[in-house]
Amino acid sequence: MARTSHDTWWKNAVFYQIYPLSFCDSDGDSYGDLRGVISKLDYLAGALGVDALWLSPFYQSPMKDWGYDISDHTDVDPLMGDLDTARELIEEAHSKGLRVIVDYVINHTSDQHPWFLESRSSRTSPKRDWYVWRDGRDGNPPNNWVSVFSGPSWSYDQESRQWYRHTYLRDQPDLNWRNPEVVEAMFDVARFWLDMGVDGFRVDAAHQMMKDPQERDNPPAPPDYPRPYKNMGEYDDFIHLYDFSHPDVHEIHRRLRAVTDAYERDVLTVGEIHIFDLPEWASYYGEDFDQLNMPFNFHLMTAEWNVPSLRAVIEAVLWNVPVGGWTNWTLGNHDEVRLATRLPDGHERLAALLLLTIRGTPFLYYGDELGMRQVAVDRDQARDPWGHNVSWLSRDGARTPMHWSDEPNAGFGPAGATTWLPIAPDYIKLNVETELGNADSTLNLYRRLIALRKAHPALRVGSFLSHPSSSGDVFAYRRESDSETMTVVLNFAEEERTIDVGRGELVFSTADPERQDRIGGAVALGPREGVVIEHV
Ligand code: GLC
């Protein structure tokens, strides 16, 4: 059933991603937990004012990939709590007006999952075909596919003398989605969490589970082959023609959509589609809007941080979203280098304004509202399996504990508790408590922006059109709803700029919370200032 109404909750929401291991540690074991998240719901719903949470995995896991290797989909890992706490978290969040979506990791399980243990036990196991087992080629893997985390995506099982496929770690065997029993078992997992009350899913690696049935070798990439935006090590040595996004993947998404649409309430699926060819990316909506509600939109992260590049990316995405579809935007997550570190100095405020005023649902990553930066994590403190051998691949630096206060462990856990990843030294300045008390802080900028978005339908669901006054270093765009017209102007220059936007009231400035001028036509912006004008 296509739902295209603008009232839909997730079109109007600001999302906030929580990486539970790093958010708040309630019991002092050094890892964040669900009870910790519960204790911060007032911050999220109240002080910050977001509408929805995305929780990264908290399910039972050997923690080889920090929860993205699941050994029991319907239980909570003891590091993070138990099922009752998960239920309480969902209920408490709802009672404060927050929706909750959870990670749904469908491409693979942990190698410790009972399904895989059974599958691995013998070639004749009834679950053998639940995973992808193959004979090798003359003692070598069945083909040349490499794992996203480097190295072959096949590992050999000595006992049963076959290879199994893993798109990620060898501890994360790929499920065989061509087996109908797997499909049903995984849909039951989705129903379990929907029955508990979650409002939807962030579908992990949602383009990965269907690959070429003939399992052909990927061609090697020529040296000048374009890379999306980040260096992926050995994975970049190939053109990935055959090892993701086989057309059959769309049938799985249609069936998943039927599962979520069977619920009375409006359930959201937002899928991690790491595809940068826009028409292919957009195909995940489905021709009749019968697949994902939204493919996750990472395109902003591929843009260079300048007006022509950002404008081109934003327009290209918006023009490629099928009419009647809805997109989302993000500038950070647990797999990327922290936003504040990627940006040129002094551009954080422009980034926040852009993210919260383009047409589409914004997803914020925990800590970005404080300006948290990437932390250089020493090798002996490293946790991420990706990057153990190539440190620049490591994602640890973007997953360090949230800064709540200027207490010794940044208020992440009880006094004296250690933390699973190191805390950035700048937590003394960049923390919730301190920033709440400083009108000019990054946190207060985010709070003001979220409130502005909430107050103005034009900023949430209005149309988007780049303004003709845009130039090489000033980006202006108009947002227009039935009742309002607003213009957003971002000055990327290191000096003042004045541009013509028409008459209106200036209702927001990144530079000065007090600024409120009447605009007669031309608006003057300070260096790196962004403003919002309401046309009355
Ligand atoms: C997704 C997750 C990432 C994880 C991988 C394997 O890309 O975002 O964190 O390592 O899937 O599950």
- The verdict on residue 174 lying in a domain is no
496 and 347 in a common domain: no
264 and 334, same domain (yes or no): yes
**Nearest one of 267, 261, 331 to 100, comparing CA atoms:** 267
Residue 536's pLDDT is: 85
173 pLDDT exceeds 80?
yes
More confident of the two residues 247 and 226:
247
Mutate to test the pocket of ligand 1, among 204, 333, 386, 396 (most ligand atoms within 8 A of CB): 204
Q: Which of 21, 65, 113, 166 to mutate to test the pocket of ligand 1 (most atoms within 8 A of CB)?
A: 65
Q: What is the pLDDT of residue 214?
A: 98
Q: What is the pLDDT of residues 247-301, one digit of tens each?
A: 999 999 999 999 999 999 999 999 999 999 999 999 999 999 999 999 999 999 9
Residue 388: per-residue pLDDT:
64
Q: Which residue puts its alpha carbon closest to atom 2 of ligand 1?
A: 204
Are residues 390 and 486 part of one domain? no
Residue nearest to atom 4 of ligand 1 (CA): 68
Looking at the CA of residue 149, tell me the nearest atom of ligand 1.
10
Is the Cβ atom of 205 under 6 angstroms away from ligand 1?
yes
Assess whether pLDDT exceeds 60 at residue 73: yes
Q: What is the mean pLDDT of residues 323-345?
A: 96
Q: Distances from the Cα of 422 to the Cαs of 24, 52, 311, 374, 376, in angstroms?
A: 14, 28, 37, 11, 9
Q: What is the pLDDT of residues 501-510, one digit of tens each?
A: 999 999 999 9
- H or E stretch including 10? helix 9-12
Number of structural domains the chain divides into: 3
Coil vs helix vs strand at 47: helix
Please report how the helices 180-196 and 83-95 are oriented relative to each other, as an axis angle in degrees rounded to 10. 50
* Residues 407 and 480 reside in one and the same domain: no
- Same domain as 149, residue 31: no
Contact, 366 vs 402, CB < 8 A?
yes
Q: Give the domain CATH number at 486.
A: 2.60.40.1180
Q: Do 259 and 335 have their domain in common?
A: yes
In a domain, 478, yes or no: yes
Instruction: Tell whether 30 is covered by a domain.
Output: yes
With cut-offs at 50, 70 and 90, classify the pLDDT of residue 3. very low
Read off the pLDDT of each residue in 77-93 and give the average, rounded to a whole number: 98
Do 259 and 155 lie in one domain? The reply is: no
Cα first-last separation, the chain: 38
How far does residue 510's CA lie from ligand 1's centre (Å)? 34
Q: Which of 395, 422, 447 is the last residue of a domain?
A: 447
* Closest alpha carbon to 345 in 303, 318, 373, 387: 373
- Give the CATH number of the domain where residue 131 resides: 3.90.400.10
Question: Best of 335, 388, 399 to mutate for ligand 1, by most ligand atoms within 8 A of CB?
Answer: 335
Phi–psi pair at 333, nearest 5 degrees: -160, -175
User: What's the rounded mean pLDDT across residues 175-180?
Assistant: 98
Domain that holds residue 476: 462-535
Q: Phi then psi for 297, rounded to 5 degrees?
A: -110, 105
21 lines ligand 1 (CB under 6 A): no
Query: For this structure, is 272 an active site residue?
Result: yes
Question: Domain for residue 425, yes or no?
Answer: yes
Least confident of 97-101, 159-163, 513-517: 513-517
Whether residue 64 contacts residue 172, with contact meaning beta carbons closer than 8 Å, is answered with: yes
Q: What is the CATH number of the domain that holds 51?
A: 3.20.20.80
Per-residue pLDDT reduced to its tens digit, 142-160: 999 999 999 999 999 999 9
3-state helix vs strand vs coil in the chain, percent to 5? 30, 20, 50
For residue 230, being part of any structural domain is answered with: no
In a domain, 374, yes or no: yes
Residue 393 and residue 483 in one domain: no
Residue 390 confidence class, pLDDT cut points 50, 70, 90: low
Whole-number mean pLDDT of the chain? 96
390, 424, 447 — which closes off a domain?
A: 447
CB atoms within 10 A of CB 354: 21
Please indicate, yes or no, whether residues 490 and 407 belong to a single structural domain of this protein.
Answer: no
The domain boundary residue, chosen from 98, 130, 165: 165
Catalytic residue among 25, 171, 199, 272: 272
pLDDT at residue 227, as a whole number: 83
* pLDDT at 231 (0 to 100): 87
Residue 233 lies in a domain: no
Answer whether residue 85 shows pLDDT above 50.
Answer: yes
* Residue 88 shares a structural domain with residue 123: no
* Orientation of helix 249-261 relative to helix 180-196, angle to 10°: 30
Domain shared by 428 and 470, yes or no: no
Residue 508 lies in a domain: yes
Q: Are strands 59-60 and 52-55 parallel, antiparallel or unpaired?
A: unpaired
- For residues 155 and 274, membership in a common domain is answered with no
